[in-house]
Amino acid sequence: MGAGATGSGKAGPPRRAAGPAAGAWWNDRRVRAVFYQILVIGGVLLLVWFLVANTLDNLNQRNIATGFGFLHREAGFDISERLIDYTPADTYLRALVVGLLNTMLVSVLGVILATILGTIVGIARLSRNWLVAKVASFYVEIVRNIPVLLQLFFWYSMITEALPSPRQALNPLPGVFFSNRGMRFPVPEADPAWTYVAVAFLVGVGATWVFARWARAYQNRTGRIPPTLSVALGLILGLPLITYLAAGAPTAMNMPELRGFNFSGGTTVTPEFTALLLGLVVYTASYIAEIVRGGILAVSHGQTEAGLALGLHRGAVLRLIVLPQALRVIIPPLTSQYLNLTKNSSLAVAIGFPDLVSAANTTINQTGQAVEGIAIIMAIYLTVSLSISAVMNWYNRRIALQGAR
Amino acid sequence: MARHPESPDEIYAREEEPDEGWRRPPPVEGASLRAVVGEWSRKNLFSSIPNTILTVLCAWLLWETLLPLTQWGLLDAVWQTDDSAVCRAAEHGACWAFIANKYRFILFGLFPYDEQWRPLVAIALFVAALAVSCVPSFWRPWLVVLWLGVMVACGVLMWGGVFGLRFVENGRWGGLPLTLILAVVGIVCSFPLAIALALGRRSNLPAVRAICVGFIEFVRGVPLISVLFMASVMFPLFLPEGFTIDKLLRAQVGIILFTAAYLAEAVRGGLQAVPRGQSEAADALGLSYWRKTGLVILPQALKTSIPAIVNQFISMFKDTSLVIIIGLFDLLSTAKAALSDPPWRPFYVEAYLFAALIYWIFCFFMSRYSQFIERRFETGHRRS
């Protein structure tokens, strides 16, 4: 204080933000800035060095090997659910990949389902129907305020304890069984026709995308709206159907059957997977519902009125006018919910679903290489988080107002 | 037509106004209850055919779920018995007797039975201190002193060893007090760290900024469970030979570091909301960086970020349940452990509902409080 007055006389042309200028060199802001930064970096480096040195010391004393060599050793533990082939004779690396794929499966399905449920609930909360709005807000208020882990335990117990044993399995549809060992349902027998159908489906999706682009350009040019919906349905559903019929329409199904104490045949969805997916979707949807509601409320009511005045019906107003504008408000918080869901999928370890954390945890327990194991978990989650952020940021920029920054 | 900038509240208020308001007949004095109810339900439940279908569907769903639920939870429930066989016999009713038998264990864990008044008083102190801190006019320096006092008192109550209280090592702490300690100590200790990180993230010094951004983004990118794993298996490796810290403290440090990163983002949001002119005015007055920050910027920034901070507190309160995975005995763990008593095994729904209710009460009131604060401080600081 007061130093400014003494300094300004000698400083020549007054410099902005120079503070008490022309004092001793240690009063120079830039010198101080460099000094502080050196201090901070030095402190952080010292801390890191202290931790690393201690860790290496401790590891040496306990005779724990370091490095990632263990990844190529035989894992020796089984994983009940897997998207790729895996046996206990495979390496730790493969076990981790199996876990990662399981994490991705749950996350992708969870994000899709939670978005659908959350959007429905969010719109329902704004409904003019009193009963619907109240039911939706009860759902949100109850689910949001209970820890997701507790909800996972609850669903898992419900599935494993409340459902009957395989012998008395519920059989809502022929070939579909619900029991405490999971859901069993029939799958078609392997047949080359199914590959063709899948290819046809992908071709249909691609063709629809091309058609939609053309349709938009056509509408911009002429003002006429091509029948996009029926053409899209025809391409996406019709093309695979024609392929299926042309390939001989195989009908052989692999039906689940009760053999002894469990089912064989068909495919199964385990209680762990169901509980995890259900818990994550129900919990995250309650947050997404609030985000959707906030986004819709942020769109001025004048927009709705203007849409109605143009003669659009309420559904069209919501779809064509309100939602596109609301999306701009919705996307950033929605991104962080997607990230939360992905990170929360790591709670799988608590109910025994073999996700990445669970596989890494077993690896750590067997090899004792905690540092490497946790580093792997963190690196993978960081990569996944940053990728989701990048994709959502790209999408956010795409839908941002033209001309806005 | 000139459009006015509207706050969501105003839009909401208009949203509730019926579009066909002008067509409605004026309210008749002394209209019968039936007419009022009829009018209301016509407007809110049966305004159109799709709406009527929705209402009927909803009502049917509620009927189908609520009726069996009341039957199960109230009418057929067993309220008082020491014999689990009675509960098992009442097949279609809830067994609240399970809670009646186990609530002391669920609430206080393995704390010595005769001494359980101590955690109870500690909970009461925490809740009272939280309640006092909720009143904006009490936000004075003495509140910090009060919190320190409460922490010390709770430490004395929980550990004991002085004033003739029996010593209880923290391995035997459990249940609700543990959950509260993890959450409250977590938020109190992470708060200064969060402010430092948020300021560092907006600093002009590139090295400081890089370190803060790196820490925040790293922690926010990984799940809490991996931070807790790190705390439980890696912290012992970090420390010099012969130096150990116990499991509770390790988990606490993990939670503090994790929360600080999220809280820093909440504080940063508040910092960004402070108009640039404030900082320039402080510079013009010749205030140093620390005085400018402490006297001008932070008070305004923290005020705007209170709702975000409370929301962070809520999510941390829920996240403390994750410590079950590294083997601590919080509220969720005790509820689960109560179920491992073989005669009472089938009553998991009751156990989880009881724990959920406790979590829910805390979180619900905090979220209501956050909304209240948001409304209270919405005075003039929003740019229209």
B151 touches chain A (CB under 8 A): no
Q: Are A28 and A138 within one domain?
A: no
Is A385 a member of any domain? yes
Q: Hey, what are B357's tokens?
A: 């209710």
Show me where the domains of chain B are located. 96-102+174-376
Q: For residue B288, give Cα distances in angstroms to A126, B196, B209, B297.
A: 49, 17, 19, 12
B377 touches chain A (CB under 8 A): no
Q: Hey, what are B365's tokens?
A: 């009131």
For residue A4, the model assigns a pLDDT of 39
What sign does the dihedral B319-B322-B323-B326 (CA atoms) show? negative
CB-closest option in B61, B226, B367 to A377 = B226
CA nearest B349: which of B54, B129, B73, B30? Answer: B73
Distance CA B172, CA B316 (A): 23
Residues of A in contact with B318 (CB under 8 A): 145-148
Q: Which of residues 219-238 of B touch A (CB under 8 A)?
A: 220-226, 229-230, 233-234, 236-238
B86 touches chain A (CB under 8 A): no
Q: Which domain holds residue A35?
A: 19-61
Interface probe for A, chosen from B20, B58, B60, B357 (most Cβ of A below 10 Å), is B58
Does the interface ipTM go beyond 0.85?
A: no
pLDDT in tens, B208-249: 888 898 898 889 889 999 899 888 888 777 777 767 778 888
Is A130 a member of any domain? yes
Q: Which residue of A has its CA nearest to B280?
A: A17
For residue A117, the model assigns a pLDDT of 94
SS3 letters across chain A = CCHHHHHHCCCCCCCCCCCCCCCCHHHCHHHHHHHHHHHHHHHHHHHHHHHHHHHHHHHHHCCCCCCCHHHHCECCCCCCCCCCCCCCCCEHHHHHHHHHHHHHHHHHHHHHHHHHHHHHHHHHHCCCCHHHHHHHHHHHHHHHCCCHHHHHHHHHHHHHHHCCCHHHCEEEECCEEEECCEEEECEECCCHHHHHHHHHHHHHHHHHHHHHHHHHHHHHHHCCCCCHHHHHHHHHHHHHHHHHHHCCCCCCEECCEEECCEEECCEEECHHHHHHHHHHHHHHHHHHHHHHHHHHHHCCHHHHHHHHHCCCCHHHHHHHHHHHHHHHHHHHHHHHHHHHHHHHHHHHHHHCCCCHHHHHHHHHHHHCCHHHHHHHHHHHHHHHHHHHHHHHHHHHHHHCCCCCC
Q: Do A146 and B51 touch (CB under 8 A)?
A: no
CB-closest option in B62, B348, B359 to A145 = B359
User: B264 phi and psi, to 5 degrees?
Assistant: -60, -35
Q: Return the CATH number at A311.
A: 1.10.3720.10
Residue numbers of chain A with a pLDDT score lower than 70: 1-23, 260-262, 265, 401-405
Run of H or E residues at B175? none
Name which CATH class applies to B96-102+174-376.
Answer: mainly alpha
Q: How far is B52 from chain A (nearest CA, A)?
A: 9
Tell me if residue B195 falls in helix, strand or coil: helix
**Domain termination site, one of A31, A46, A61:** A61
Tell me if residue A347 falls in helix, strand or coil: helix
Chain centre distance of CA B215: 24
pLDDT in tens, B62-115: 888 888 888 887 777 777 777 777 777 777 777 787 787 778 888 888 777 777
Q: Do A377 and B324 touch (CB under 8 A)?
A: no
Residue B357 near residue B372, CB atoms below 8 Å: no
Distance CA A188, CA A249 (A): 11
Q: Hey, what are A232's tokens?
A: 């899209």
For residue B7, the model assigns a pLDDT of 45
> Residue B295: how many CB atoms within 10 A of its CB?
12
Is A216 a member of any domain? no
Tell me if residue B160 falls in helix, strand or coil: coil
Interface probe for B, chosen from A1, A29, A30, A37 (most Cβ of B below 10 Å), is A37
**Locus of tokens 């929605």:** A334
Is A43 a member of any domain? yes
pLDDT tens for chain B, 384 residues: list them: 344 444 444 444 444 444 555 555 565 556 677 888 888 877 777 777 878 888 888 888 888 888 888 888 777 777 777 777 777 777 777 778 778 777 888 888 877 777 788 888 888 888 888 888 888 787 778 888 888 888 888 888 878 777 777 777 777 787 888 898 888 888 888 989 999 999 998 888 888 888 898 898 889 889 999 899 888 888 777 777 767 778 888 889 999 999 999 999 889 888 888 888 888 999 899 888 888 888 888 888 888 888 888 888 888 999 999 998 888 888 888 888 888 887 777 788 888 999 999 999 999 988 888 888 888 776 554 443
For residue A23, the model assigns a pLDDT of 67
Q: Hey, what are A189's tokens?
A: 């027998």
Is A90 a member of any domain? no
Q: Are A55 and A156 within one domain?
A: no
Is A333 a member of any domain? yes
Distance CA B339, CA B197 (A): 42
Distance CA A242, CA A200 (A): 9
Tell me if residue B217 falls in helix, strand or coil: helix
Given 3-state DSSP classes, what are the helix, strand and coil percentages for chain B, each rounded to the nearest 5? 75, 0, 25
Distance CA B310, CA B364 (A): 11
Is A155 a member of any domain? yes
Q: Do B356 and A361 touch (CB under 8 A)?
A: no
Complete edge-to-edge strand list for the sheet that includes strand A170-173: A170-173, A176-179, A182-185, A267-269
Q: Are A130 and A53 within one domain?
A: no
Q: Hey, what are B245's tokens?
A: 């810290």
Q: Which residue of B has its CA nearest to A130?
A: B44
Count of domains for chain A: 2
Q: Are A41 and A141 within one domain?
A: no
Residues of B in contact with A17 (CB under 8 A): 283
Provide the β-strand partners of residue B330. B175
Is A202 a member of any domain? no
Q: Are A57 and A104 within one domain?
A: no
CA nearest B231: which of B219, B247, B218? Answer: B247
